[in-house]
Chain A
Amino acid sequence: MIRHLFTLIWNRKKSNFLMITEIFFSFLVLFGVLSLAFYYLNNYNKPLGFQYDKVWVMTLRWNQEKPLEIKEIQSRLKQQLKSNPEVEGVAFSSVNTPFTMQNMNGGFFYNNRSVLSSFYQVDEDFAQVMQMRLTEGRWFNDQDQSSSYSNVVINEALRQALFKNEPVIGKVVAGLSGDNKNPKTRIVGVMEAYKQQGDYSEDSPGYLEYKKLKKQADSTNVFFNTLLIRVKPGVTSAFEEKLTKQASQIAKGWTLEIKSMNEMRASHNKVALIPLIVFSVVCGFLIINVALGLFGVLWYNINRRISEIGLRRAIGAASGQVYRQFIGEVLVLATFGVLFGVVVAAQFPLLQVFQVQTSVYVTALGAAVVIIYALAAGCAAYPSRQAARIAPATALHEE
């Protein structure tokens, strides 16, 4: 039966060519959009690595002060803000805090391997303010202050990419400098995750680097542009103005901007979803378009074959058999389109085009196949039922 159907379609390949092409393109478009959707979903389901609720972000822009003066003001600023009873903790961070468009990265070297990795410069209170979770090792503490190494906490993604199953705690590696002979970076801990680019982004390799505001060796650079403030539960945004006033008394003439991380997250996620929404709308429209076209053409074709149906019914085919034949024909047609589509789509995971996990592609491929078959069967259902209902006498009479 199935072989018979395949020959039937194959023999009419010229007149079916357009429909097969259409199914082929719909399949590719669906595959693309579904890959994106599954990629987002996959990322969304993984832990963010920190708690954004109740965290306020204050960005600092200074004028023409020298690094030492800036650091002095920053240190007083932290003391002052911390002294408020509404504030639970205050931490410094480099400009690339979560839910910003800012990014700093470089190669992280170990032995002969290196991986492009984001880095975040933070102070000792960062872990407590952001409520980070560790899977191994410890956070920065007092003994790191005087250490001659640059102390870092890496995330699981970086460990997986570079160290696999080797123990990493206490290891001294080349790190960002890439100098294998004179390694300066010491790993003190491993954190669960740190999705700085928001919920829908991948947890890519990254590490936190410990910086002390008043370390002599770093006196010519200013690392921190951002103050993270965790407020106690129940503190409302009315407290913001007081905080800003307090801060501008100490940092005279600086530009200070406060935002709540909750708000930043909402708007960041909205922006991240825009491509998916646009593609889904376009894809949805194309699919509806194709479905309607398929439906119309099938309806027309089946109506043209009334005499054939009448003949089959007259020599004893049950209406169920006619129904199954027409549905079967359409599914075979879809199979041709899908087969070509799969050949093209399979190149993405095979060639690792966008460095996305293979599982995302495989799920998207499976889902696209199911949707295309459902669509084809759905479009064929009504015309096929009509064909099956034709009484043999009427059909033959018309002929």
Chain B
Amino acid sequence: MRTSTRMAGALATVCALLAGAACGTDDAGGDSKDVEVFTWWADGGEKAGLDGLVAAFGTDCAEYKFVNGAIAGGAGSNAKQVLASRLSQADPPDTFQAHAGAELIDYINAGQIEDLSDEYQQWGLTNAFPKGLIDNLTVDGKIYSVPANIHRANVLWSNKSVLTAAGISKDATTLDGFFADLEKLKAKGVTPLALGKDWTQLMLFEVVLISDLGPAQFTGLWNGQTPWDSPEVAKAIDDYARLLTYTNKDTRDTFDWTDAEKLLIDGKAGYQLMGDWEAADLDAKQFTGYAFSTFPGNGTTFQWLADSFVLPKDAKNTEGTKCWLKTVGSAAGQKAFNTKKGSIPARTDADSADYPSYQQAAMADWKTQTQVPSCAHGAACSQGWQGALGSAMGKFSSDGDKAALRTALVAAAKQFVGK
């Protein structure tokens, strides 16, 4: 008897140590009214946006309770780690954040997320989102995620007074014109183009590819239609290498995007390429002397990325999750989220009067321009492909070896296209 009590005590201890493993029968799933939403939005504009979404969820889905499963840090890499292990234990959150587009392929191939095509019809999302976006979200005829927002990646930010001092009065619309402007800035002794590390370099390379290949061919790079060893891509590598000579050579591999942004704010740099979260950040830092334009040579191309939510396969509270997804896709939900996060709604029927000036311009473009996806932010390529290109960019930044970069680009496409 005494031994068995001791045994039970020991077992209880082991169970406590193995917290999370299935010990006993009472599953700590809690109330089925809970909807655990897993994101990496833990502070700043992202947190504010999430709070707005939660408020909308509270009104639309009053019978359910929002549970915040946010994991901070590492631009989402910490969250992805935790998510991967939870999914492999078949213990998913009720819904999780993922970049819309090719980044979802990993989850789709693994059979971890559910098809939402019927819900799209039911909620009228098929008509609310533009066709380009719908095409990009569709994998083998099915749609697996609901985008909460759209960010634009191919935006060139500038410090107005630095440009004026260098005698630049108009935004360049071609790469050649842009090189001429960069030369003027160089002569003034400022950093012409502020740049950060790996993924920010990949963003810059992508917009150069758009300029040299055009939107249709650029999109083809990611689905196997456009070869990576073409003369056009070689020209883009040349142009990119030339652009790098105008950047902060010493520090670019140590800088995050905010460090590069600081060069712009301090008047030490003329230009910076960055996604449009920069607008919200510049406003938050109360810097008003900035201007923006589409990256030279991109014409009417809108390079997008989106945060979206999914329905995991073994979600405990499927109905609650569906209510959350419906809120995310609804006009009210998108407004609550995007006015705070500095992004624009994925829906084309939103009223732009509710938004600040940058976002109004972006919303008009979103409706009319050619949409191409971004690889650096998971819309165009899978996580493995992103990693390979990120390190190829880092390597090129330090050794400048064009032939090696070309080989790496071709090898990455061969290995990752369609997966």
A and B associate in one complex = no
Residues of B within 8 A of A (CB): none
Residues of A within 8 A of B (CB): none
